[in-house]
């Protein structure tokens, strides 16, 4: 019931709350998909939810998380109907392209997956690092087109400079896959280790690169971060991290700490020749060019 307040009609709070709440789905849809055909977009979203829910398909439109390749994909008939209902919504169309790319990738249809992912990136100009990382991964690990993978990774990093997956991929490509190999300086510039990583492996890669160019203090910092993460998660990179940490400590003259870490690394990986060398008297040949 409307009341007057200073001559102006004024809704009671319960009435205002009810009317506002009833508009929330419309407001949310318009905010997400723009001022297009709300009715058709809403129908398409409802139908898409049904398509995915029936098979338990997990859809992440920005690919911030990887899909599970063992998932049973939604039916193409169901998705085609969503596409017909989607109207002019570019965001919804992008989501459909990502889903189609995931389905193609799960089936090993790499070129089709690339077509869908690339279309998804073009549809929305805002950064989509998760989708770009999926494209880079296919070029790297499936098609072995390393130069193209590096070009795409660097282009994506220009708009998403903090993305961890893209930084690591670019670093690995500079080090091991794109000539001239072992391009440590460019690898480190692309990886930007100072931004940090969420897992130990990139820290190990960065520590090795710093060691190779005689930046032992930076290498020490990276190795310490890597070992700390490996211990917290009990992952398989701990032996490598302890090797790098112990070696760098010995190279810097921190003999006691270095030997302790190398001893632990040997316990975890007793047949590793590099760890054996770092533990021995001839360790300085592993300390970088100036040693």
Query: Which DSSP string do the residues of 161-209 spell out, in sequence order?
Result: TT-HHHHHHHHHIIIIISSSS--HHHHHHHH-GGG--SSHHHHHHHHHH
Between 22 and 223, whose confidence is greater?
223
Most confidently predicted of 8-17, 57-66, 101-110, 172-181: 172-181
From CA 203, how far away is CA 11, in angstroms rounded? 59
Tokens of 266: 């040997």
From CA 168, how far away is CA 191, in angstroms rounded? 6
Tokens of 216: 């032992």
Judge whether residue 11 has pLDDT over 50.
Answer: no
Judge whether residue 249 has pLDDT over 90.
Answer: yes
- The predicted pLDDT at position 33 comes to 43
Judge whether residue 126 has pLDDT over 80.
Answer: no
- Under the banding of pLDDT at 50, 70 and 90, the label for residue 99 is confident
- The predicted pLDDT at position 79 comes to 74
Cis amide leading into 180 (omega within 30) = yes
Contact predicate 63/131, CB 8 Å: yes
- Region label for 58, one of left (φ > 0), alpha (ψ between -120 and 50) or beta (otherwise): beta
Contact predicate 263/228, CB 8 Å: no
Average pLDDT score over residue span 132-156:
95
Beta bridge partners of 10: 3
Q: Is 68 helix (H, G, I), strand (E, B) or coil?
A: coil
Contacts of 182 (CB under 8 A, 6+ apart): 175, 176, 212
**How far, rounded to the nearest angstrom, does the alpha carbon of residue 248 sit from its chain's CA centroid?**
29
- Under the banding of pLDDT at 50, 70 and 90, the label for residue 96 is confident
Contact predicate 70/50, CB 8 Å: no
- The predicted pLDDT at position 186 comes to 97
Q: Is 4 helix (H, G, I), strand (E, B) or coil?
A: strand
Contact predicate 192/167, CB 8 Å: yes
Tokens of 39: 């009715």
- Per residue in 265-288, pLDDT tens? 999 999 999 999 999 999 999 997
- The predicted pLDDT at position 76 comes to 74
Judge whether residue 23 has pLDDT over 80.
Answer: no
């Amino acid at each position: 019931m409307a009341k007057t307040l200073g001559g102006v009609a004024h809704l009671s709070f319960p009435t205002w709350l009810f009317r506002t709440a009833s508009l929330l789905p419309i407001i949310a849809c318009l905010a997400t998909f723009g001022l297009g055909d709300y009715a058709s977009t809403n129908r398409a979203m409802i139908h898409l939810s049904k398509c995915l829910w029936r098979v338990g398909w997990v859809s992440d439109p920005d690919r911030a998380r990887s899909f599970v390749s063992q998932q049973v994909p939604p039916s193409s008939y169901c998705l085609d109907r969503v596409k017909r209902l989607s109207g002019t919504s570019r965001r919804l169309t992008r989501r459909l392209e990502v889903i189609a790319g995931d389905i193609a990738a799960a089936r090993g249809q790499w070129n089709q997956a690339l077509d869908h992912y690339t279309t998804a990136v073009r549809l929305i100009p805002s950064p989509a690092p998760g989708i770009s990382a999926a494209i880079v991964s296919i070029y790297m690990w499936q098609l072995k087109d390393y130069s193209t993978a590096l070009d795409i990774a660097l282009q994506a990093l220009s708009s998403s400079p903090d993305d961890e997956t893209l930084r690591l991929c670019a670093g690995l490509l500079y080090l091991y896959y794109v000539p001239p190999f072992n391009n440590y300086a460019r690898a480190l510039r692309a990886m930007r280790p100072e931004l940090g990583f969420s897992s130990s492996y990139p820290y190990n890669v960065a520590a090795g690169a710093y060691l190779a160019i005689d930046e032992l203090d930076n290498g020490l910092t990276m190795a310490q971060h890597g070992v700390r993460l490996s211990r917290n998660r009990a992952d398989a990179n701990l032996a490598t991290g302890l090797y790098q940490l112990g070696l760098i400590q010995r190279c810097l003259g921190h003999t006691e700490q270095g030997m302790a870490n190398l001893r632990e690394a040997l316990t975890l990986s007793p047949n590793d020749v590099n760890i054996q060398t770092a533990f021995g008297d001839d360790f300085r040949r592993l300390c970088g060019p100036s040693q």
